[in-house]
């Protein structure tokens, strides 16, 4: 039998999703009402006000001159991207599929940049016609862009994505430093710039992205300082002063017990000093940061329902209609070295005081499909709503929805 104990409600750390009459709410709507409105579970729900609040917080603490771009791959839901397009300064994308969504928002193409290794001739051609900034990942790509732009009679806007000679320390995912499939090694950039000057291309600047999911202010600031110093040294070889330098981002969010949320004030004060030094040398160059996870990650939840509850040799299993096919990251299979539990709530039993230890699993026929291991939660029954927090970034679009042939979940922006 399950261990039963009487104590205070056991809730995961929850920010921004208040409880009303024992139920979790999203944008003021109780979970059961939202589920009724959507008509089926599982689903993802994103709260537009929480996203706007996060951007407002960034504007408050980060330097006024710093431009904020949204990296669409974190959450490419068209309604989310449209909402972002009205509150950020630009969109960064990594495919022509994302480009179509970005252009539909009405955002000025000059404020949209397209990065990604392995852009095909077809994709380059579409991006040139669209007038977005192409972040070039190799010399070969530059030659292709120059040829295609000439054919179209367009002067393409280009930036060089630089693979720096340093890395972002203590990142969840490193994407710069050492050998990489991303960008042009910094030592090759001067010769590439020399060639660029011979081509009929509009040089916009540099893109230097080092990594993702970092929760250490001092590592982030150290990298930002090195990044801007690298941009200054490379700018000497450019045909014109860079209009923009995109210094990446990498701001992480707190997923797990013990994770400390980033202190935006510390980051803002540090960045302000670093940018002041940079602007002494390049006064008219815009500094851009691009963030995905930090802007939307905390604002989303993934909701599934308990289909079955059973006990196996003393362990209780809540089997849900969701799973890793919708939320790969929560199952611990999206680049994590060890699986840790996301914050979870039984969303229709927020004021239930009786708790038990449970394992939450999905409906897939694979032992990888785990959403919560040995979690102490309010006692749940079949039909209850299981909510996973911190699901606004790298959720649905980063999951193998075709695996095992279950239907895809819905998504709503509330």
Which positions touch ligand PLP (CB under 6 A)?
A: 71, 73-74, 92, 115, 209, 212-213, 248-250, 290-294, 393
Tokens, residue 160: 């060089």
Q: Residue 244 in contact with residue 202, Cβ under 8 Å?
A: no
**Could you tell me the smallest distance in angstroms from the CB atom of residue 21 to ligand PLP?**
35
Handedness of CA 181, 186, 187, 189 (dihedral sign): positive
Query: Rg of the chain's alpha carbons, rounded to an integer?
Result: 23
Closer residue to ligand PLP (CB): 73 or 326: 73
**Could you tell me the smallest distance in angstroms from the CB atom of residue 69 to ligand PLP?**
8
Q: Residue 327 in contact with residue 399, Cβ under 8 Å?
A: yes
**Could you tell me the smallest distance in angstroms from the CB atom of residue 406 to ligand PLP?**
26
**Could you tell me the smallest distance in angstroms from the CB atom of residue 163 to ligand PLP?**
12
**Could you tell me the smallest distance in angstroms from the CB atom of residue 263 to ligand PLP?**
17
Closer residue to ligand PLP (CB): 70 or 385: 70
**Could you tell me the smallest distance in angstroms from the CB atom of residue 171 to ligand PLP?**
9
CA 47 to chain centre: 15
Q: Count of CB atoms within 10 A of residue 146's CB?
A: 19
* Distances from the Cα of 312 to the Cα of 227, 279, 318, 361, angstroms: 53, 63, 11, 13
Q: Which residues contact 83 (CB under 8 A, 6 or more apart)?
A: 48, 51, 52, 413
Closer residue to ligand PLP (CB): 337 or 365: 337
Burial 258-295 (b: 16+ CB within 10 A, else e): eeeebebeebbbbbeebbeebeeebeebbbbbbbbbbb
**Could you tell me the smallest distance in angstroms from the CB atom of residue 291 to ligand PLP?**
4
Backbone angles phi, psi at 345, to 5 degrees: -135, 150
Closer residue to ligand PLP (CB): 25 or 390: 390
Q: Which residues contact 215 (CB under 8 A, 6 or more apart)?
A: 170, 252, 254, 259, 260, 261, 262
Closer residue to ligand PLP (CB): 296 or 350: 296
Closer residue to ligand PLP (CB): 362 or 392: 392
The residue nearest ligand PLP at its CB is 292
**Could you tell me the smallest distance in angstroms from the CB atom of residue 290 to ligand PLP?**
5
**Could you tell me the smallest distance in angstroms from the CB atom of residue 114 to ligand PLP?**
10
Burial 102-136 (b: 16+ CB within 10 A, else e): bbeeebebebbbbbbeebeeebbbbbbebebbbbb
Closer residue to ligand PLP (CB): 63 or 252: 252
- β-strands 244-246, 344-346 pairing: unpaired
Backbone angles phi, psi at 81, to 5 degrees: -65, -40
**Could you tell me the smallest distance in angstroms from the CB atom of residue 113 to ligand PLP?**
9
Closer residue to ligand PLP (CB): 28 or 178: 178
Closer residue to ligand PLP (CB): 163 or 213: 213
Closer residue to ligand PLP (CB): 282 or 296: 296
Beta bridge partners of 44: 302, 411
- Which helix (H) or strand (E) segment is 277 a member of? helix 264-281
């Amino acid at each position: 039998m399950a261990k039963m104990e009487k104590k205070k409600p056991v809730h995961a750390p929850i920010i921004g999703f208040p409880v009303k009459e024992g139920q979790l709410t999203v944008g003021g709507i109780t979970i059961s009402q939202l589920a009724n409105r959507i008509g089926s579970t599982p689903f993802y729900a994103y709260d537009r006000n929480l996203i706007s609040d996060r951007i407002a917080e960034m504007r408050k603490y980060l330097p006024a001159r710093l431009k904020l771009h949204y990296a669409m791959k974190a959450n490419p839901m068209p309604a989310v991207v449209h909402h972002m397009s009205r509150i950020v300064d630009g969109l960064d994308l990594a495919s022509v599929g994302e480009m179509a969504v970005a252009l539909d928002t009405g955002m000025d193409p000059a404020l949209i940049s397209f990065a990604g290794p392995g852009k095909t001739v077809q994709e380059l051609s579409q991006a040139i016609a669209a007038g977005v900034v192409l972040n070039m990942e190799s010399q070969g790509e530059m030659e292709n862009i120059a040829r295609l732009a000439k054919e179209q009679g367009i002067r393409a806007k280009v930036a060089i994505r630089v693979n720096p000679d340093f890395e972002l320390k203590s990142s969840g995912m490193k994407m710069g430093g050492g050998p990489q499939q991303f960008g042009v090694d910094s030592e090759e950039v001067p010769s590439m710039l020399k060639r660029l000057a011979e081509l009929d291309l509009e040089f916009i600047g540099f893109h230097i992205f080092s990594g993702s999911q970092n929760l250490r202010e001092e590592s982030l600031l150290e990298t930002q300082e090195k990044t801007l110093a690298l941009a200054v040294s490379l700018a000497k070889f450019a045909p014109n002063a860079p209009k923009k330098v995109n210094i990446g981002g990498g701001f992480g969010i707190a997923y797990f017990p013990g994770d400390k949320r980033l202190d935006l004030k510390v980051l803002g004060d540090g960045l302000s000093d670093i940018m002041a030094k940079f602007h002494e040398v390049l006064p008219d160059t815009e500094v851009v940061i691009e963030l995905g996870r930090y802007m939307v990650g905390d604002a989303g939840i993934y909701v599934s329902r308990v289909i079955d509850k059973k006990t196996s040799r003393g362990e209780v299993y809540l089997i849900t209609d969701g799973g890793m096919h919708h939320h790969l990251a929560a199952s611990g299979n999206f680049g994590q070295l060890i699986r840790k539990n996301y914050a979870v709530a039984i969303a229709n039993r927020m004021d239930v005081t009786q708790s038990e230890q449970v394992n939450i699993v999905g409906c897939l026929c694979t032992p990888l499909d785990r959403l919560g291991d040995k979690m102490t939660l309010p006692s749940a029954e079949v039909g209850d709503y299981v909510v996973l927090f911190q699901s606004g970034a790298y959720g649905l679009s980063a999951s193998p929805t075709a695996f095992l042939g279950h239907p895809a979940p819905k998504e709503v922006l509330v």
